[in-house]
A = this chain, B = another copy of it.
Amino acid sequence: MNIPEGYDPRAFEPFAVTVDLAVLTVRSGRLHVLLVQRGQEPYAGTWALPGGFVLPRESAGAAARRELAEETGLSDATVAGLHLEQLRTYTEPDRDPRMRVVSVAYTALVPDPPEPRGGGDAAEARWLPYDEVPALAFDHDRILADARERVGAKLEYTCLATAFCPPEFTLGELRQVYETVWGVPLDRPNFRRKVLTTPGFVEAVEGPPRRTGGRGKPAALYRAGEATALHPPLLRPEGRSA
């Protein structure tokens, strides 16, 4: 590394490091995003991804989980079980007009859409349907688009979809995750076979098949399995991106 001799941390204009969260969920067949309304300049009144500064003795992952708990109002135990994954880091020098801010973005997948409490600190927090999201503050449009693209791609070759589901779920719910994120309908019988023949994707919950939902035959319940990758993958039709 090019370490200047006797490098003094305070010699440079310092960088601030933040985390930004793209918190996604599937609610009633639509992809939703958790957004907060900014309370102060810059971009006061504009919607933005939740996030905040990384504390001096904290990793970015820990900061992300802390912010996630604050913004959703969920218990620490619940938040500990959520899927949280580093997405990408955004470093353009002028992405924040105030100062040099490097942001480590995370994608969080949330099973059920609990109405967020407004967050301890600041303005309103709300779930918005993905395709009704207005222009966001900073480069958050870009971050959100990247998150959506990444999630869509990872559904193909990982077991990620179960992270959108509650601990016990039906195959219909799982299929709806795919259909919602990809925006295409899938063949029910084929989806079922594919999931059940992939070892470790899901495991059946013992006991009588209970139901979930209104009409129709009661569906069997499943839990997420041990597997993390999908071999072979579950490809979206036509290889289309959305």
* A residues neighboring B (CB under 8 Å): 1-3, 5, 7, 9-10, 12-18, 36, 38, 40, 48, 50-54, 56-61, 67, 70, 86, 88-89, 91-93, 98-100, 102, 104, 121-122, 156-157, 229, 231-233, 235, 239
Query: Looking at the complex, which one of B2, B16, B100 makes contact with A56 (CB distance below 8 Å)?
Result: B100
**Given contact pairs A52-B1, A53-B1, A89 touches B92 in the complex (Cβ within 8 A):** no
In the complex, the answer to whether A91 meets B235 with C-beta atoms within 8 Å is no
Total copies of the chain? 2
Report 9 cross-chain contacts, Cβ distance below 8 Å, ordered by A residue. A1-B38, A2-B52, A2-B53, A12-B16, A12-B56, A15-B15, A17-B102, A233-B233, A233-B235
Contacts A10-B10, A56-B12, A231-B239 given; does A17 touch B18 at CB 8 Å: no
A38 contacts which chain B residues (CB < 8 A)? 1
Q: Chain B's nearest CB lies how many Å from the CB of A44?
A: 11
Let me know if B9 and A16 touch, CB within 8 A. Answer: yes
Interface of A is mostly: loop
Bound-state Cα–Cα, A70 to B86, Å? 29
| Structural contact, B89 and A60, CB atoms closer than 8 A | yes
16 extra interface residue pairs, beta carbon distance < 8 Å, beyond A14-B14, A54-B91: A1-B36, A1-B53, A2-B53, A2-B70, A3-B40, A9-B14, A9-B100, A14-B15, A15-B102, A60-B91, A60-B102, A61-B91, A157-B233, A231-B235, A232-B235, A233-B233
Q: Are B18 and A10 in contact (CB under 8 A)?
A: no
Inter-chain CA distance A10–B12, complex, in Å, is 11
Whether A93 and B17, one on each chain, are in contact in the complex, defined by CB atoms closer than 8 angstroms, is no
Q: State the Cβ distance, A218 to closest chain B Cβ, in Å.
A: 34
Report yes or no: B1 in contact with A48, Cβ–Cβ below 8 A. yes
B91 and A104 form a contact (CB under 8 A): yes
A73 to chain B, nearest CB (A): 15
